[in-house]
């Protein structure tokens, strides 16, 4: 990824200033360099919330560009003029801090930075191999119907009824009745009922699935 990006930039430099010696070393490290293309940093781009592995990870490669030698100003002028017209990368004309040049061990020099965006593609992880026969567990499903009552056995319409652990949700009708077309056929089912700002949990004994489940809630008056 980084090697390919550098090759593209070196090809671009050659197309602008001709056949030159392009160095990847730090400024001052190569006396024969006509153009220094030094990788300063690799910065991850912010990923959107819906982006997940193994989708490509965007990165920004930031290069310092300077032109030592007798034709330094001429070559820097040529590169900068063309770079500012490129859409493939961003140009930053801010001068480098003094401590950067101090770290390189050279005096400050005219330069600019180029930021080029690349992406790292990660392979989709493979599912682990199956090393034993598949065991299929069959669970029967049965309908579940019931009634939500308040104090005085008054039907509660619009109550939210949820099968705990299953995610199935329904609402009671105007007569307080609710129906689940299919739930696991266990003898007892835990139900969570929300009505008038209150929440109740009830365990429905389903010895006889033909009989409705009656849930009585002691709901406070609005």
pLDDT digits (tens, 9 = 90+) for 158-213: 888 998 887 788 888 888 898 888 887 667 788 888 887 788 888 877 666 678 88
User: Which percentage of the chain shows pLDDT scores above 90?
Assistant: 15
Q: Which of 13, 23, 104, 99 is nearest to 68 (CA)?
A: 23
| More confident position, 65 or 89 | 65
Model pLDDT, residue 142: 78
Q: Please state, for a pLDDT cut of 70, what percent of the chain lies above it.
A: 83
Q: Which of 93-97, 202-206, 213-217 has the highest mean pLDDT?
A: 93-97
Rounded Cα distance, 41 and 60, in Å: 8
Superfamily of domain 141-216: Carboxypeptidase-like, regulatory domain (2.60.40.1120)
List, by residue range, all CATH 3.30.2000 domains of the chain.
2-120
Nearest to 66 by CA among 56, 57, 58, 76: 76
Q: Whole-model pTM?
A: 0.52
How many angstroms separate the CA atoms of 219 and 197, rounded? 9
Q: How confident is the model at residue 143 (pLDDT cuts 50, 70, 90)?
A: confident
CATH number of 2-120: 3.30.2000
In this predicted structure, what is the pLDDT of residue 79?
Answer: 92
Across the range 126-137, mean pLDDT stands at: 66
**Where exactly does CATH 2.60.40.1120 map onto the chain?**
141-216
Closest residue by Cα to residue 83 from 110, 52, 113, 62: 113
The whole-number pLDDT of residue 49 equals 47
Q: Over 80: is that where the pLDDT of 157 sits?
A: yes
């Amino acid at each position: 990824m980084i090697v390919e990006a550098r090759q593209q930039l070196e090809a671009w430099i050659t197309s602008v200033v001709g056949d030159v010696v392009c160095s990847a070393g730090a400024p001052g490290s190569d006396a024969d360099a006509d153009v220094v293309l030094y990788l300063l940093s690799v910065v991850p781009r912010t990923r959107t919330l819906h982006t997940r592995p193994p989708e490509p990870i965007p990165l920004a490669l930031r290069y310092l560009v300077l032109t030592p030698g007798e034709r330094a100003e001429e070559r820097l002028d040529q590169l900068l003029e063309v770079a500012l017209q490129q859409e493939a990368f961003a140009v930053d004309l801010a001068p480098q801090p003094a401590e950067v040049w101090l770290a390189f061990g050279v005096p400050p020099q005219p330069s600019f930075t180029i930021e080029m965006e690349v992406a790292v593609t990660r392979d989709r992880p493979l599912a682990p191999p199956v090393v034993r026969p598949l065991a299929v567990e069959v669970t029967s499903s049965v309908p579940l119907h019931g009634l939500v009552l308040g104090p005085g056995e008054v039907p509660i319409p619009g109550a939210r009824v949820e099968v705990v652990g299953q995610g199935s949700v329904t609402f009671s009708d105007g007569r307080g009745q609710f129906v689940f077309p299919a739930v696991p056929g266990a003898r007892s089912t835990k139900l969570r009922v929300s009505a008038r700002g209150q929440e109740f949990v009830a365990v429905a004994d389903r010895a006889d699935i033909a009989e409705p489940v009656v849930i009585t809630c002691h709901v406070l008056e609005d």
